[in-house]
Structure 1
Amino acid sequence: MKSAMVLRQIDDYDIILREQFGFSCVKEKCGQTYRIPADIGQGFIRNVFPNEDIGLSIMHMKLKRPLMMNYEDYDSKFETTCCLKGRIVYNETGVIDTQLSQNEMGIYIKQSSRGMMMFPSGEEILAVSLLGQNRFWNNLPYKEESVIQPLGEKSHLANVLMRPRTPGVQLYNLFGQLANNSLDPSLRLSFYEGGAKLILSSLWQAYVIDPLTKNIKNTDLSADRAALFDARDILTEQYMKPPTIPELARMVALNEYRLKRGFKELFGKTVHEFTQGLKMSNAKALLENREMNISQIAYEVGYLNVSHFTRAFRKVHGMNPSDLRF
């Protein structure tokens, strides 16, 4: 097996890809595309900056040799990466699990971070990375608190956010649309900017503002904040077949009473209502996407019986699933 391609410092990205590994580079409006040479693999890395505040990278490749990038004292400001196909190996110093598998994303706000990421060889990889910087970053609320705030006794929010998580269907579809769009070139920059801002803003609200600002009135439950947000993330990722209350309580190390009471107080819904809302929200997004039929969507969100799915969908959205197909 051939040795890996190694970028010793991510700041040397452009020069090393072109001069050492033979990538071609095509300058485009507000960005550039690096084409992978045939002896190394196939595909491209496209970097686009619609303006000075937003950047995105679309990576679609199948490599014959792994590509490794080291980084040290890297200030990510606010970034997210979603792996749509394949996997991306991350090794962030001080964080146990940061590898992204297919259909997983990570959120990065850690300052002066240090580690390595690798694109493995032999598998198709499709991923989208988004960056919010300059005015976008400066205008975000709670950015100072997000960098230093502990979420529980042992975990800082910046480290917790790096851990892989599954985006909901709506976010996943947005990432997919950024990676694969057939818009006229004159519209693409506006689409990239709008899509990136929508995703970044949604993630900041869900994973920074909510954990830092949602108060639990009962002081006995305030110490359970981290576990309750863990419970929310588990339900979001496993909404198709969610754990039972006893299973979820064990997973987040809370007793059932504190879990149910704290979850309702923090998120305004019972565990069941929250999970059901996720199923119906994702079902609606899948119906609007039109790539699956209604039976497939019912199964995708955890229903074996289409009539049961239809009844549940109508109860939440006030219409039948088929109404969205006309």
Structure 2
Amino acid sequence: MVAGFSYFATTQPTHLTSMTFSFSSTPGFDFLTQFARHIGAPVHNDLMTMPAQLGQGYIRKLTFGPEFKITIHHYLLQEDLIIKRNSSGLGNELITVFFYSNEQSLGIAFNDNPLVLFSNRDDSAIQVTSNDLSSVIRFPANHYINYVVVAITPSYLTALLAVKDPNSVLQTITGSGNSFLFFESMTAETKLLLKNIAAVNMNDNLSRFYMQIKVQELLYLIFHQLSSRESAAYQSINSADAERLLHIRNEILSDLSVPPVLRELAQIAAMSETKLKQLFKQTFGSTVYNYYQQARMEEAAFLLKQGKRSVAEVGYELGFSNLSHFSRLFEKHYGLNPKRFSTQS
């Protein structure tokens, strides 16, 4: 799957009521304690159960030391939840890794502009960010929300990874004072691991030990993905850049039948073509065109699996005038031509 959320930008009506929680992401900040205080819920043994009048589910925190902790969110609310993370203003003193695994669309932005909404093909993704970037996330009401947040200091992560020759991405993340944002796709292995973590019986005497191992396994999976990226000079990013990149991503994916034109995208982003190319590849791990093509093939696979369209209809819908070219490109991605893929799905 392309790094990020899923395929199409959408516009969806928001609920008339919503709950907003705003905080500054500093190393000493305790999300669970402050959020529980915000909604008037008690915390017992680092577990907060959602009050019945708000919904159902829980938030759990596990601390593995002063430099490494995890927060598990699993709940269904009766109104939208908006979480606003404000810049710490302290530089990269804390690395935050968000694992989103949701069945419904999320909204995310990096300033106070209207949220960018994502479709629900598969709203699973991983976001790695420094704590000096602001962000706004909207979780929809009446749908189960599942996400995990790992917070870790650069020095602790460096010791944990113990990489002798890190690429530029790992150097940036573990370095001092860097502002960064990286999106990665969520593999099937990561999704399964997240489900296993959510199902752990925390009453077991060795549950904390088990959880620490599994959280490190989560970190291994994401940083293994990031370590395979091409090593290139890093360009600093701020919240405004991040917002523009998400907007450009949605422009690319809003109509997969039309190839992106870099010049037009650069004008929309108010960036030079060079800056846009660099920041897009740095953030999403792929060039603009390759990102588009990957999403195009994934949408083709999705449509073929539905069994409601022929291979020709899918190809033409995605802008291929030459069906032989469509078949070759699809087979390159999936190892099967579209016809065989559709019959085996």
Are the equivalent residues in 1 in contact too, given 2:20–2:83 (CA < 8 A)?
A: yes
Deviation digits for residues 190-227 of structure 1, max 9, x if unmatched?
655433432245357659x64529xxxxxxxxxxxxx9
Match of 1:45 among 55, 59, 75: 59
Quick one: distance in 1 between partners of 2:198 and 2:294? Answer: 32
Query: How much has 1:38 moved relative to structure 2?
Result: 0.8
Match of 1:126 among 145, 148, 151: 145
Deviation digits for residues 98-130 of structure 1, max 9, x if unmatched?
95744476542135x7x7867678453524233
Deviation digits for residues 297-322 of structure 1, max 9, x if unmatched?
98599637796643321245553354
Query: How much has 1:176 moved relative to structure 2?
Result: 4.9
Query: How much has 1:233 moved relative to structure 2?
Result: 9.1
The answer to whether 1:62 aligns with 2:85 is no
Match of 2:268 among 248, 251, 273: 251
Are the equivalent residues in 2 in contact too, given 1:77–1:108 (CA < 8 A)?
A: yes
Match of 1:36 among 50, 69, 80: 50
Structure 2: gaps spanning 5 or more residues: 1-15, 202-206, 236-240
- CA spacing shift, 1:53–1:66, aligned 2, 3 Å: closer
Deviation digits for residues 37-67 of structure 1, max 9, x if unmatched?
2122222224456898563523332145857
Structure 1: gaps spanning 5 or more residues: 150-156, 214-226
Match of 1:303 among 312, 318, 325: 318
Query: Greater helix share, 1 or 2?
Result: 1
Give the TM-score normalised by the residue count of structure 2.
0.52
Quick one: distance in 2 between partners of 1:196 and 1:301? Answer: 40
Quick one: distance in 2 between partners of 1:20 and 1:185? Answer: 26
| SS of match in other structure, 1:238 | helix
Quick one: distance in 2 between partners of 1:193 and 1:125? Answer: 25
Query: How much has 1:249 moved relative to structure 2?
Result: 4.3
Query: How much has 1:131 moved relative to structure 2?
Result: 1.9
Quick one: distance in 2 between partners of 1:236 and 1:130? Answer: 24
Quick one: distance in 2 between partners of 1:15 and 1:204? Answer: 34
- CA spacing shift, 1:196–1:5, aligned 2, 3 Å: same
- CA spacing shift, 1:182–1:234, aligned 2, 3 Å: same
Structure 2 residue aligned with 1:142: 171
- CA spacing shift, 1:4–1:147, aligned 2, 3 Å: same
Are the equivalent residues in 1 in contact too, given 2:157–2:174 (CA < 8 A)?
A: no
Quick one: distance in 2 between partners of 1:301 and 1:55? Answer: 46
The answer to whether 1:21 aligns with 2:68 is no
Quick one: distance in 2 between partners of 1:126 and 1:195? Answer: 19
Structure 2 residue aligned with 1:110: 131
Are the equivalent residues in 2 in contact too, given 1:89–1:119 (CA < 8 A)?
A: yes
Are the equivalent residues in 2 in contact too, given 1:128–1:175 (CA < 8 A)?
A: no
Quick one: distance in 1 between partners of 2:292 and 2:38? Answer: 51
% identical equivalent positions: 14
Match of 1:202 among 210, 214, 225: 225
Query: How much has 1:235 moved relative to structure 2?
Result: 5.6
Query: How much has 1:36 moved relative to structure 2?
Result: 0.9
Are the equivalent residues in 1 in contact too, given 2:101–2:191 (CA < 8 A)?
A: no
Quick one: distance in 1 between partners of 2:304 and 2:96? Answer: 32
Aligned residues: 281
Query: How much has 1:18 moved relative to structure 2?
Result: 7.5
Structure 2 residue aligned with 1:82: 100
Query: How much has 1:238 moved relative to structure 2?
Result: 2.9
Structure with more relative contact order (C-alpha pairs < 8 Å, separation 6 or more): 2
Give the TM-score normalised by the residue count of structure 1.
0.54
Q: Counterpart amino acid of 2:218?
A: G
Superposition RMSD in Å? 5.9
Deviation digits for residues 3-38 of structure 1, max 9, x if unmatched?
95868784273377279723564x5xxxx5432121
Deviates more, 1:123-132 or 1:184-193: 184-193
| SS of match in other structure, 1:310 | helix
Pairing of 1:211-222 with structure 2 (within 5 A): 211-212=233-234
